[in-house]
Amino acid sequence: MEDDMNTCLHPCPLVFDLDGTLIDSAPDIRAAVNEVLAENGLPALTLAEVHGFIGGGVEVLWRKIIAAKGLSPEDHARYVAAFLTRYEAATGLSALYPGVTEALETLATRGHALAICTNKPLEPARAVLRKTGLDGFFRVVIGGDSLPVKKPDPAPVQAALAALGADPLRPDGIYIGDSEYDASAALAAGVPFFLFTEGYRHLPVEEMTHHTSFSDFKNLPSLVEKLRD
């Protein structure tokens, strides 16, 4: 099994995380969070605080804000609802990490089928993909609200791989992401995890389970090639 996980036949399916992997979206998430906090007479979060809270999706984001700031858990649903009304429009401050478009072009040209599997809800995910010009690359987008469960559950990664035609019993593909949620989901789905180190991970790289790591997207196509040998 270990050997199987370390090879990738043909141009294998590639599934990408979104926030902190392809797109630095924390400034938009922070702006929308701070609008909700301001509306409730509460102080703003710093960008560093927001980095620490991203990864598990909107409900987890607000659970973490509530815990860190000593807010009332009873207000969770109200904060989430207010945030969601702003999330789809929150794309103006998001930026692609350097080299993302070129790497996706190279991988698509080599015949890899590409999908997104994000814990961000589907509509905001689609909106930011359109805004950054990436939407045309992906055959499938699985959002945080596409299934009843989110990463670290493997089901969303498995659904993305299946939609790209991977064999569910012996999934052939790679999951590329930035967080602990991604590492756990890939491990449980039985596919190698490629860690982008410049996103919003909460642990040192050495403490995260991963097949390989990279800090610059220009290195991704050759790392993917290497797995095929």
Ligand X SMILES: O=C(O)COP(=O)(O)O
| 152 cis-preceded (ω within 30 degrees of 0) | yes
Q: Which of 3, 4, 17, 167 is catalytic?
A: 17
Kindly tell me which residue out of 94, 106, 119, 184 binds ligand X, with binding defined by CB under 6 A: 119
Kindly tell me which residue out of 13, 55, 171, 221 binds ligand X, with binding defined by CB under 6 A: 55
Q: How many helices (H) and strands (E) does the chain have?
A: 10, 8
| Cα distances (Å, whole numbers) of residue 224 to 10, 66, 83, 93, 122 | 11, 40, 37, 30, 27
Kindly tell me which residue out of 13, 20, 173, 192 binds ligand X, with binding defined by CB under 6 A: 20
24 is catalytic: no
Residue 114's contacts (CB-CB under 8 Å, 6 or more residues apart) are 13, 14, 15, 16, 104, 107, 108, 137, 138, 139, 164
- In angstroms, rounded to a whole number, what is the distance separating the alpha carbons of residues 160 and 90? 25
Kindly tell me which residue out of 14, 18, 140, 155 binds ligand X, with binding defined by CB under 6 A: 18
State the SS3 of 209-226.
CCCEEECCHHHHHHHHHH
| Interface positions, 157-186, toward ligand X (CB under 6 A) | 179
Going by C-alpha positions, the residue among 18, 48, 17, 42 that lies closest to residue 30 is: 48
| Stretch touching Mg ion by CB under 5 A, among 20-28, 66-74, 138-146, 166-174 | 20-28
How far, in whole angstroms, is CA 152 from its chain's centroid?
11
- In angstroms, rounded to a whole number, what is the distance separating the alpha carbons of residues 191 and 68? 34
Write each residue from 146 to 185 as x if it is in contact with Mg ion (CB under 5 A), else as -, in one continuous string.
--------------------------------xx------
The number of residues that bind Mg ion (CB under 5 A) is 5
143 touches, from Mg ion, ligand X, none (C-beta below 5 to 8 Å by class) = none
Of 166 and 176, which CB lies nearer to ligand X in the complex structure?
176
61 touches, from ligand X, Mg ion, none (C-beta below 5 to 8 Å by class) = ligand X
178 is in an annotated binding site: yes
Q: Residue 15 CB, nearest distance to ligand X (Å)?
A: 11
- In angstroms, rounded to a whole number, what is the distance separating the alpha carbons of residues 185 and 46? 28
| Stretch touching ligand X by CB under 6 A, among 49-57, 102-110, 183-191, 209-217 | 49-57
Bind-site residues for Mg(2+): 17, 19, 178
Residues forming the active site? 17
Q: Which residues bind ligand X (CB under 6 A)?
A: 17-20, 54-57, 61, 118-120, 179
Contacting positions for Mg ion (CB under 5 A): 17, 19-20, 178-179
